[in-house]
Amino acid sequence: MNLVDFSELIVKKLVKEPDLVKVQQFEDDEETVIEIAVSEEDMGRVIGKRGKIASSIKTLIQAKAYNEGNNKVRVNIDSF
């Protein structure tokens, strides 16, 4: 399972509208960027109180990337 599929799996379990979740991966010279987009109504569910859920999502994705040998991963969560 690659990082995009892993990220989708995590986020889709949290939101009310899983069909609207979009995850994209971009490769930069020094790092990998994972862009997660959810509907504006689901943004609160993904961020959580004081950003704890968002922080946990980022930690899980970075841990998966590290296990695959990719040390530098940045995760961006946004709404549309």
Whole-model pTM? 0.92
Residue 36 pairs in a beta bridge with 23, 77
Which pLDDT score is estimated for 40?
96
- Please state, in angstroms and rounded to a whole number, the distance separating the CA atoms of residues 54 and 59: 9
Would you kindly state where each structural domain of the chain is located, as residue ranges?
3-79
Q: What is the pLDDT of residue 5?
A: 97
Query: Where does residue 38 rank: exposed (0-12), middle (13-18), buried (19+ CB within 10 A)?
Result: buried
pLDDT for residue 6 is more than 90? yes
pLDDT 10s digits, 16-52? 999 999 999 999 888 999 999 999 999 999 999 999 9
Percent share of the chain, pLDDT over 70: 100
How high is the pLDDT of residue 29?
84
Architecture of domain 3-79 in this structure = 2-Layer Sandwich (3.30)
Tell me: pLDDT of 71 over 90: no
